[in-house]
Chains A and B, each alone.
Chain A
Amino acid sequence: MEHVIELKNVNKSFDRFQVSDVSLAFKKGFVTGIIGSNGAGKSTIIKMMLNLQQPDSGDVRVFGMDYSSSEKNIKDRIGFIFSEDVLYDELTLHDQRKIIAPCYRQWDDALFHQYCEMFELPLKQKMKSFSKGMKMKATLAIALSHHADLFIMDEPTAGLDPVFRREFLEIMQDIMLDGNKTIILSTHIMSDLSSIADYITYVEKGKIVFSKEMHDIEENYALVRGGIELLDSDTEQYFLSVKKTGAGFEALTSDAVAVEMLFGANVVIEKASLEDIMYYSQGGKTVAAVD
């Protein structure tokens, strides 16, 4: 299967943080969600995909090309969205279009106006009068108007109200109907991903914990609750994380079938949500924003 982005043994160090030995491949035609707590390294990985930061070592290839020789060709095919505003407050959306549209080879003005109409965006109003949601819609309209093959989004839904978040996710689903588009989005709001993501990459402390199909995660990860007497050094090996209380234990497994065969009806097995997976993977610390 064709990979849109490949990261091989990528390392990046900062004063107090590092991304270590990241190897990832993102498949064409799918939505991949990058999850992890705040400061886990999601944005750093996204920025390296966009060449906003360069790895200290390792290889980043997008559409099979590298940034050193094909930066403009790569970026011409990417639509990007950041959680921060990247538009000029003193300009109108019409002005923004004027300075950004000529940068893209495949800019489609009719499509841009269609999205502006759909999102009810005023073209002649200064950006500083736009709400956070409207600014996001403006960025989205721009990202969608040049027939990009790949959309890279860093926390696109951060700070948005639930109604627009839902709307945003529906737009993402519409984009994917094409079949040739690829979306990579980072978020710490897990509920955003359950409806649209095909793959999940979980990052923690600058390392990839796993990168799996959403379907696999739903099938195999489970929360297990039972009496403490069931735990010993052998049975604990079936769990990624175990939280013991006076009365019993609660644990996360990545092999629900094996656990069911082992404990049978002596335990309660529930499907684990992405929040559960993050929570237990970090030893029970609060990590995910639950919505």
Chain B
Amino acid sequence: MLQLIKKDLYIHKLSWLIYFAMLVFFMYFNKDIFFVIALMSAIVTMYSFYYDEQANGHKLWNSLPFTRSEIVSARYFSLLVVTLIMTVVTVTVEFVLHGGWNTVLWQELVGSFVLLLISGSIFFPLFYTFAQRNAVFILVILSILFVIAGVHVLYYSYIWLIENTMIVQSMGEGLFWSTATAVSLVSYGISWGLSIKIYKAKELL
């Protein structure tokens, strides 16, 4: 399965340079770390589906010595690996460009992680159900738009919760974000199982 994760990173090849340039561009213009990590990780992961679809990847990887569970699980692990890579790069670029980190950095990191898990939970099963040669590009665009919208929804919801309710104050920020992470992890796990079930039943034409 490690080979499948490596493949998910490798098939982007020179596109990694474009991703890095985009990341630096956003950071240079002071976009939130939360936004940059979530957007760039979503682009890389969702484009893996696109590249696989263009190359008849389902046929290729299912004819190689892998089980369908491994193929699906590798993609779920890939999202975590890509998020980790993007987090490390973004935080490093932030330090280089701005000489340090702001005090709410950890909340931005957790926020991007939560958002990516939720977007993966929703879109991965959709990819495994509907992705065909033409539909896959639409799904890639929708999933990236979902993440962009999700950044704003999560950010403003959090502000609203702080200003208008006692939820965050009563729970404390640590517990609030821990709960959000736990909920997103559970949904990611459920989605993982669902995708395996969908993919095992999928007819590869």
Contact = CB atoms under 8 A, between A and B. Distances in A.
Interface of A: 47, 50-53, 71-73, 75-76, 78, 80, 82, 84-91, 95, 98-100, 102-105
Nearest to A81: B63
B10 A86 contact: no
Which interface residue of A73, A80, A90, A98 has the most chain B CB atoms within 10 A?
Answer: A90
Interface string B44-71: 0000000100111101101111110000
A87 B60 contact: yes
Given A52-B63, A52-B204, A75-B64, 15 more contacts: A53-B204, A72-B66, A73-B65, A84-B59, A85-B55, A86-B56, A88-B11, A88-B57, A89-B55, A99-B3, A99-B10, A99-B11, A103-B65, A104-B64, A105-B65
A95 B11 CA distance: 9
Contacts of A84: 56, 59
B55 A50 contact: no
Contacts of B60: 86-87
Nearest to A104: B65
Contacts, number: 67
Contacts of A71: 65-67
Contacts of A103: 3, 64-66
21 contacts: A50-B62, A52-B63, A52-B204, A72-B65, A72-B66, A75-B64, A75-B66, A76-B65, A78-B63, A80-B63, A82-B56, A86-B57, A88-B51, A91-B11, A95-B13, A98-B10, A99-B3, A99-B11, A103-B65, A103-B66, A105-B65
Interface string B61-94: 0111111000000000000000000000000000
